[in-house]
Amino acid sequence: MLELVLANLRVRPFRTLLSIVGVALGVVLVVLFTGLARGMSNDMAKRAANWKAEIVFTRAGAMTYDSSNAPVPTAYADRLLEIEGVESTIPVIRYIAPSPTGRWGIMQLDGLDWEPFARMNEMQIVEGRAPTGENEVILDERRMIEDNVKVGDKIELLGRDFTIAGVFSPPSGSRIKMPLATMQNILEVKDKCTYILVKIKDGEDADAVAARINSELPGNKVNLTRDLIIDAQERIPALNTFLRVMVGLGAFVSTIFVLLSLYTTITERRKEIGILKSLGASKGFIVSAIEGEAFAVGVLGVIFGLFAAFSASLLIGYFFDLVFEFSLGWVLTAVAIAIGGSLVGALYPAWKASAIDPVEVMVNE
């Protein structure tokens, strides 16, 4: 059986190659795009949680990656300081917008008072200075490289021009930060913020302080910073839909390519199949042979697709500085839909082949 399957594949090498490429394309769709989605979202989450503050005080629904609201009154910053165990607080507005033309994904901006934020989170200006004017911002080092800008250059944000006053390190939260008052004025949310970072006193237990905050300021949401890095699929509501679409598209591509290729092949091999059946080959044997070809195409497509996906991720990461994070679960899913799609795509051609009448074939051909 194996020799027959391999011989059938070698007889039409170009068509076999096209089938393998089609299956590989399905694998690339799943592996590459899910890896990119997970990598980008996890990178954003890690930066968002790269704070020395132990507690994030906010409102339910304020810290999702599909919203840019500021529902928390900044007056809570002073009220939090009155709670036992709290050392300092920093109000922050986070604004989410589509990336500028030519960039992938979303753009995130932070509005905050730099000096207290830097002291709390042990950050520093590595070039230039902190923003002091209303039209000044600071960027992290990676954003400076990506945008190919330098200190003193202009950058357009929120419909107006800002001057890059300095560069900060390490990356934390958004890659662009502006004064809190400026962000409040632009968004017309006076005395409001998205969340408040809470630094607790040395020796205090974060869980205990969080419990006190919940008790004294009920109706809000208190997050421990250590809990912010969670699964990407939970952080971004649309991500699950995106991943399901990629899986479905990958399965569809694999199935269609194999179906069309084998259906055409069966049409051209009617004589050979008729001879096999006249020699005693059963319907099960014919179906097994066709499915064997599909399985071989699926395995070769998986190997080629995984190689292409991982190679592409290295090239894209090098040239565009995007982050990929592959998971074993999605890789196994890609393998399953590639091989499964190949086998399913071969079912109809296999059935057609098994139903060929050897007498009719021998008479007509």
Per-residue model confidence as pLDDT tens digits over 92-118: 998 887 665 455 556 789 999 999 999
The reported pLDDT for the residue numbered 365 is 57
Joined together, the tokens standing for residue 75 give 């007056």
Choose between 236 and 23: higher pLDDT. Answer: 23
If one counts the domains in the chain, the total is 2
Q: What is the pLDDT of residue 295?
A: 94
Q: How far is residue 328's CA from residue 342's CA, in Å, rounded to a whole number?
A: 21
pLDDT digit string, tens, across residues 286-309: 999 899 999 999 999 999 999 999
* β-strand pairing of 136-140 with 160-169: parallel
Among 7-11, 77-81, 163-167, 217-221, the range scoring the smallest mean pLDDT is 7-11
Q: Are residues 60 and 199 in the same domain?
A: yes
Q: Where are the beta strands (DSSP E) in the chain?
A: 55-58, 72-73, 86-98, 106-111, 124-128, 136-140, 154-157, 160-169, 176-178, 192-193, 195-200, 221-224
Q: Is the pLDDT of residue 361 over 80?
A: no
Tell me the per-residue pLDDT of 125-183, one tens digit each, with 9 for 90 and over.
Answer: 999 999 988 899 999 988 898 788 999 999 988 888 999 999 998 887 788 999 999 99
Using alpha carbons, select from 266, 313, 223 the residue that is nearest to residue 28.
313
- CA dist 258 → 249, 332, 350 (Å): 14, 20, 11
Let me know whether 138 and 218 are in one domain: yes
Asked if 289 and 327 sit in the same domain, the reply is: yes
User: Residues near 357 by Cβ (< 8 Å), separated by ≥ 6?
Assistant: 274
pLDDT digits (tens, 9 = 90+) for 309-350: 999 998 887 776 677 889 899 899 999 989 999 999 999 988
CA pair distance 212, 70, nearest whole angstrom: 24
Residues 102 and 195 in one domain: yes
Task: Identify the pLDDT of residue 258.
Answer: 84
- Measured between alpha carbons, how far is 334 from 300 in angstroms, rounded to an integer? 13
Asked if residue 95 and residue 197 are part of one domain, the reply reads yes
Q: How far apart are CA 240 and CA 248, in angstroms?
A: 12
Say if 168 falls within a structural domain.
yes
- Domain endpoint, select from 228, 251, 271: 228
What six digits make up the tokens of 142? 């990676």
Has residue 192 been placed in a domain? Answer: yes
Q: Which domain holds residue 223?
A: 50-228
